[in-house]
């Protein structure tokens, strides 16, 4: 073997040792300006600067790497080097979460040398497969965890929905609920009260998944409990808020519209804890049922304004969640409140079919292939027209 080839082998040994130590200055000094890496990691540039960046990232993730050169062969201007590397995965690398475990890699480098500098590198190894398998296992475990969480959230939400819709003489009540893929915190509920009155609630807990479902279930249960002992929707919301604010996780809250209906008179007394304003179809228009109040669970000792209206024969109220108005079309435009209000004004007299009509309009608006962003809840309350 020639003296030049022996020198090339020594150069490669120093090059590999410098990489293991993370000595980028030494690595750079041994590379030709026109160096090219032929075996690239995802996102790596093949030139010298790209190789140096990749080397720095590799050393940061695997500090203290130890390379053992098993054998070297030199032929012409090329040097083939078989090696074994022991390294500990301490930081994230190429999407692989750190494991803290020692890994053993085996592989071969082929370097081409010209003018005493390395101008080209090929690399093949086997140990990286272990990292790939670990990453796939991590991703599979994460998918399983998310799927399990979604199943639990759906179970909680489905268990919280009323099993039956109340039947009131002279009235039509039509609920609709469609969960999103990532289950949110929507709920609706009915509270049979004394003297034939009926409580109606629509609410939405912030967030998605199990946390939102648990907060929703807690708020719903609290409201159901206090409603039996309170003749005042505003008073009921105040009690729920004071109870919820001590238990709710930070940065979470619940919006809720709660009303009490007296079927005989058509009186609807209501209060609102920061929920989207319901619409009342009356005289060919859509009126907002306005009442002020903070969402539940944000601050203690909040007051909730109470209002009252009379639903006359043929009139209808629509309660809904923000999943409807905040749906987007392919261009990013929202369905929006003005559109919903106009549709209620035009079609509010259609009773139970109003919900079906709104869903058809939504489907047409978002187009095919739409992925629902949030739960959608609708609750229509309609007084039948007078027979006279």
Structural domain boundaries enclosing 377? 160-383
Domain boundary among 76, 109, 126: 126
Q: Are residues 307 and 187 in the same domain?
A: yes
Q: What is the pLDDT of residue 135?
A: 65
207 phi-psi bin (left φ>0, alpha ψ -120 to 50, beta other): left
Among 2-6, 166-170, 293-297, 306-310, name the one with the lowest average pLDDT.
2-6
Residue 157's pLDDT band (cuts 50, 70, 90): low
Q: What is the pLDDT of residue 359?
A: 87
Q: Are residues 264 and 377 in the same domain?
A: yes
pLDDT at position 310 over 80: yes
Q: Look at the chain and report how many structural domains it folds into.
A: 2
Domain boundary among 126, 152, 169: 126
Q: Let me know if residue 139 belongs to a domain.
A: no
Q: Are residues 270 and 322 in the same domain?
A: yes
Strand partners, 102: 88
Domain boundary among 72, 102, 126: 126
Q: Are residues 307 and 172 in the same domain?
A: yes
Q: Are residues 110 and 212 in the same domain?
A: no
Q: Let me know if residue 133 belongs to a domain.
A: no
User: Average pLDDT, stretch 189-208?
Assistant: 92
d(CA 223, CA 315): 27
Q: Are residues 91 and 167 in the same domain?
A: no
Residue 128's pLDDT band (cuts 50, 70, 90): low
Q: Are residues 9 and 54 in the same domain?
A: yes
Q: Are residues 376 and 303 in the same domain?
A: yes
pLDDT in tens, 56-102: 888 888 887 888 899 999 999 999 999 888 888 788 776 677 777 78
Q: What is the pLDDT of residue 42?
A: 62
d(CA 292, CA 122): 70
Residue 140's pLDDT band (cuts 50, 70, 90): confident
pLDDT at position 252 over 80: yes
Angle, CA 310 vertex, CA 307 and CA 312 arms, to 5°: 155
Put simply, whether the predicted model's pTM sits higher than 0.85 gets the answer no
Q: What is the mean pLDDT of the chain?
A: 87
Q: Are residues 65 and 202 in the same domain?
A: no
């Amino acid at each position: 073997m020639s003296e030049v080839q022996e020198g090339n082998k020594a150069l490669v040994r120093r090059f590999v040792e410098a990489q293991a130590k993370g000595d980028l200055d030494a690595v750079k000094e041994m590379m030709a300006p026109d160096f090219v890496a032929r075996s690239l990691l995802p996102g790596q540039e093949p030139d010298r600067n790209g190789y140096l960046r990749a080397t720095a990232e590799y050393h940061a993730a695997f500090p203290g790497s130890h390379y053992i050169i098993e054998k070297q062969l030199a032929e012409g201007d090329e040097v083939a080097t078989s090696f074994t590397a022991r390294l500990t995965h301490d930081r994230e690398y190429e999407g692989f979460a750190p494991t803290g475990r020692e890994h053993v890699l085996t592989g071969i480098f082929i370097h081409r040398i010209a003018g005493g500098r390395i101008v080209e590198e090929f690399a093949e190894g086997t140990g990286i497969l272990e990292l790939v398998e670990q990453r796939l296992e991590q991703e599979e475990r994460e998918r399983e965890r998310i799927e399990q969480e979604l199943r639990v959230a759906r179970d909680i939400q489905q268990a919280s929905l009323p099993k039956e819709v109340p039947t009131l003489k002279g009235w039509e009540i039509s609920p609709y609920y469609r969960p999103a893929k990532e289950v949110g915190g929507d709920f609706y509920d009915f509270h049979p009260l004394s003297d034939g009155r009926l409580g109606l609630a629509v609410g939405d807990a912030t967030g998605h998944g199990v946390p939102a479902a648990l907060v929703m279930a807690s708020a719903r249960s609290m409201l159901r409990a206090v409603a039996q002992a309170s003749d005042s929707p505003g008073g009921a919301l105040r009690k729920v808020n004071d109870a919820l604010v001590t238990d709710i996780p930070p940065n979470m809250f619940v919006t809720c519209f709660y009303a009490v209906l007296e079927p005989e008179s058509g009186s609807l007394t209501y209060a609102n804890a920061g929920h989207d304003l319901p619409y009342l179809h009356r005289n060919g228009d859509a009126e907002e049922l306005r009442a002020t109040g903070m969402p539940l669970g944000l601050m203690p000792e909040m007051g909730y304004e109470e209002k009252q209206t009379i639903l006359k024969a043929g009139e209808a109220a629509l309660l809904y969640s923000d999943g409807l108005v905040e749906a987007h079309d392919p261009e990013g435009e929202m369905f929006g409140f003005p559109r919903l209000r106009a549709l209620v004004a035009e079609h509010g007299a259609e009773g139970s079919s109003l919900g079906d009509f709104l869903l058809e309009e939504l489907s047409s608006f978002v187009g095919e292939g739409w992925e629902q962003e949030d739960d959608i809840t609708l609750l229509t309350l309609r007084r039948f027209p007078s027979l006279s």
